[in-house]
Structures are given as C-alpha cells and as structure tokens.
Amino acid sequence: MGLPRFGRPKGFEGDSSPNLYVANCGPAVGLSYDSIASVFSAFGELKGVFAADDSGARVIVSYRDESSATAALEAFDGHPCPDLGGRSLHIRYSVIQPTSQIDKVACLQGQVNDSVPVSLMASELNIPGLYLLQDFVSIKEEETRNVNTRRKLGELPSFVSLILERISSFPNLDDSANIVLDQLTVNEYPTGVGLSPHVDTHSAFEGFIFSLSLAGPCIMEFRQYAECAWLPNHTSSPSMKMQSPEDDKSFLRRAIYLPPRSMLLLSGEARYAWHHYIPHHKIDLVKDSVIRRGSRRVSFTFRKVRTGPCQCEFPQYCDSQR
C-alpha cells in the first residue's frame, strides 16, 4: 500500500464509486490493514486499503468495480462488524484526492522518514520480555484525575487500585500475582514532546516496569547499543541515559505503536538491555498511515523500588555490576 490517494468525502452525494470511505476503522482502533482487507474482500477484488487521513481511524477501501463497493456499503454501513472487533462502521462513497492533497500527505510523511518501521504488536519486535495489551482500561476509566500537589508521598492513590488488580493477572507472566508495585510516575506530554533514550536504572527499580498510555497515542522506539558504545551519565537521575545517543549509530532499532488505553510491560531483556525512547514528533508514520498525536498524552508508569543491588543477567548495562 502506498500513499493514500483518496480524500474524505465532503458533501459528496454523487453516483456510486468503487472507493469507500470507512470511519471507525484502522490501526488507531486496533484494526490492521490486512484484517480490514480480509473482511472487505468477501465482496469483490480489492485494489487496496489506504489511510483516509492522519487519524488512523478512517480508511479508504478501494475495489476493482463499483458493484462490490455497493454490496459492502449496504452490508456494513451503520452495523457492527463481528470480524472487525464488533465495531460499527460508518461508510460513504469516496472521491479521488486532488494532487495538491497527495503532495501534502507526502510532505507529512517526509517529516518522519527517519522513523524505523512501526509494529502494532509487541511479538513482532522479537524483544524478549516485551508485552503490549490494548484496551487495558476503558474509555470511561481513562478519564484523567487531577493531581493534588498538597498530598504527601506515601501509598499509591486509591484510583489506581483497579489497574494494580489487573496487573496482578497480567498474561504471559507466571509470577504476576506476586508482583508488588510501590512507585508511580505520572508524566504529561504535550503534542510533539517525546522522551530521550534511556534504561531505567537497574539499582533503583526491580525487573517489571508497567506503562499505561492515556489520552493520546505515540510511537515508542527500542534501541540496543553495542556493548562498548553504552556510556551512561553518572548522575542521581533514576534512569541511565546515553551521553550522546544520536551520535552513535551502532544500535539495533525496533518501534511499536502505543494506542491510548494500552499497557506496555518491560521485563527481562526488554527492561534491562534495551533503551526505550519516544521520538519528538507531532506526527508518526504507522504502516501506511500518518497519525497525528493528540494535544496531550499522559503516562502512568508503575515500578517496584529495589532495596538491594541488581543481579541481572546483563552486567554490561548494569550500574550495580560495573
């Protein structure tokens, strides 16, 4: 799939078209282009599935002939689709995008052409110990609480109790029920603001780090540097940062899309041996979609404070074993 060649129909009431504009459908709502194509291909041969805009939640389904598009529209418009997560699709015939608009999208993609290809599932990154669960909380639960700055540090706030309970039954972890988390960091990221490459300090925190994304999406990149290239700053910061990570190109790169309400787990190698990093972008290229970040993103990061030296299996990255 190349650049999207179709635009959102604005007041288009003309004849039928082989191209359908489909809303509430796309990678931002957990639906891959392959899964969308598989469902819509039941009505006829497809030319392809394209991003309708930069939202990640609207696509263009392009058929070889108009009759196939008409059949799909009549079957799916306004109805829940069981094969697409039960989502109700909103469909209209689409129009060809003017050349000037295609150039605009190309320019947007050019702003992020340094990005590593982005995956939608943690398993695609092949990083041991990395897991991603989408829709870890509901839209209602996502409503951000205000922080009372007068409260003293102490027990974790009561409104995260439900999150901690769900973490205790996190899949793929044999001992998840025994995980005790006692440290919470809440960060707010305005649009375009990211996170420098770093590894959370081994001696400060234990082996499980859970990060809940709220309010807006982002891309998280993972970097594994060559052993001799890893040069941490010796500071009191609870993270170990590269002195000049952008100047050193001897690293592996992986990237994953973090939608709102998703929970990311760093454990094992992913936690101890890979730097994680959020590029400072206002837009991100995910598969064939240009996704604009929201006006803000909030992250809740849960950790367990370590009380003794770290004895992990990655001494080349460990401040306790240097």
What mean pLDDT is predicted for residues 83-91? 89
Q: Give the Cα-Cα-Cα angle 218, 172, 311 (nearest 5 degrees).
A: 85
Domain limits, the chain: 6-110, 122-143+156-321
Which residue type sits at 40? F
Q: Which CATH class is domain 122-143+156-321?
A: mainly beta
pLDDT band at 191 (very low <50, low <70, confident <90, very high): confident
pLDDT above 90 for 42: yes
Distance CA(268)–CA(314), nearest Å, equals: 9
Highest mean pLDDT: which range of 26-30, 50-54, 263-267, 316-320: 263-267
Q: Which residues contact 258 (CB under 8 A, 6 or more apart)?
A: 132, 213, 217, 218, 219, 220, 264
Distance CA(140)–CA(160), nearest Å, equals: 14
pLDDT of residue 283: 81
- Of 27, 202, 261, the closest CA to residue 124 belongs to 27
Distance CA(200)–CA(197), nearest Å, equals: 10
pLDDT above 70 for 14: no
Question: What are the tens digits of pLDDT across the range 224-249?
Answer: 887 544 444 444 344 444 444 444 45
CB 129 within 8 A of CB 267: yes
pTM of the model: 0.61
pLDDT above 90 for 180: no
Q: CATH number for the 6-110 domain, one of 3.40.50.2300, 1.10.150.120, 3.30.70.330, 3.90.78.10?
A: 3.30.70.330
pLDDT band at 112 (very low <50, low <70, confident <90, very high): low
pLDDT of residue 99: 45
pLDDT band at 114 (very low <50, low <70, confident <90, very high): low
- Of 111, 290, 279, the closest CA to residue 191 belongs to 279
Question: What are the tens digits of pLDDT across the range 90-109?
Answer: 999 886 655 444 445 544 54
pLDDT band at 44 (very low <50, low <70, confident <90, very high): very high
Question: What are the tens digits of pLDDT across the range 241-278?
Answer: 444 444 445 678 999 999 999 999 999 999 999 999 99
pLDDT of residue 174: 64
CB 3 within 8 A of CB 289: no
pLDDT above 90 for 17: no
pLDDT of residue 264: 95
